[in-house]
Amino acid sequence: MTKKEKAAYIIQSLESCYPEVSVPLDHKDPYTLLIAVLLSAQCTDVRVNQITPLLFKRADNPYDMIKLSVEEIAEIIRPCGLSPMKSKGIFGLSHILIDKYNGEVPADFEALESLPAVGHKTASVVMSQAFGIPAFPVDTHIHRLLTRWGITNGKSVEQTEKDAKSLFPENIWNKLHIQIILYGREYSPARNPKKDKDFITAAIGTVKAKSELQ
């Protein structure tokens, strides 16, 4: 099966499993999405969704956020891990949004990636899900699955993103990346993947990936 045929199979399969999708991180606007995605680094979405209501009750916009100290932010978000770095990032980017963008989150990749603690993946999620601009954020689930399915060689997330964008139609990127994440969580866990559950890997996976199915 060629990569184009695999891509078509993936699209059809995931559309059947997840015809409607929503962002797994609870948010109400671009700013709260940006903060939630930043917090999700090396943390589960479930945990983030438990913590953000506590944070957003105190500050759900940059003007209120800078009224908190870095230490106060860190204490609230501590369960998400990496709180010293994340709290400084949240405080710093909130100041920049006020000083440079009138308190608004810019719909621009370069501007987003220049913010403290905001990397390419975070910027891609915000661009795609807050502003509807086509992007293909690659998290650990997507990198792992597209490697297992032979869509990419798995050498880097940058290569995975490039390969995904070349094979999948741009008009479905924003939905497809969420569908892949949902599939990974439900059908294809990193540990102990099952033949009878992970049907996409069983059908189109690499020889190595198929051999790992139990």
The stretch 185-207 carries a mean pLDDT of: 94
Tokens of 133: 């601009």
Out of 6, 121, 163, 175, pick the active-site residue: 121
Tell me the residue type at 147: T
Burial of 27 (0-12, 13-18, 19+ CB in 10 A): buried
- What's the CATH code, domain 3-21+137-212? 1.10.1670.10
Pinpoint the residues of the chain covered by CATH 1.10.340.30: 30-131
Quick check: is 3 catalytic?
no
pLDDT in tens, 69-122: 999 999 999 999 999 999 999 999 999 999 999 999 999 999 999 999 999 999
Query: Looking at the predicted structure, is the pLDDT value of residue 130 above 90?
Result: yes
| pLDDT band per the 50, 70, 90 thresholds, residue 209 | very high
Within the chain, residue ranges assigned H as helices are: 3-17, 30-39, 45-58, 62-65, 70-77, 83-101, 109-113, 120-131, 140-148, 157-167, 173-186, 199-204, 207-212
Spatial distance between the Cα atoms of 10 and 107, rounded to a whole number of angstroms: 29
What residues have CB less than 8 Å from 2, skipping those under 6 apart?
none
Give the span between the Cα atoms of 131 and 192, in whole angstroms. Answer: 37
Residue 66 · residue 94 · CB < 8 Å? yes
* Average pLDDT of every residue of the chain: 97
Q: Which position among 6, 60, 86, 139 bears the catalytic label?
A: 139
Q: Give CA–CA dist 187/152, Å, rounded.
A: 20
- The one-letter amino acid code at 21 reads V
CA 214 → CA 20, 191, 210, 211, distances in Å? 30, 10, 9, 8
Q: Is 57 a catalytic residue?
A: no
Start-end of CATH 1.10.1670.10 domains in the chain: 3-21+137-212
Give CATH superfamily name and number for 30-131.
Answer: Hypothetical protein; domain 2 (1.10.340.30)
- Provide the token pair at 113: 């990636």
Residue 25's pLDDT is what?
Answer: 97
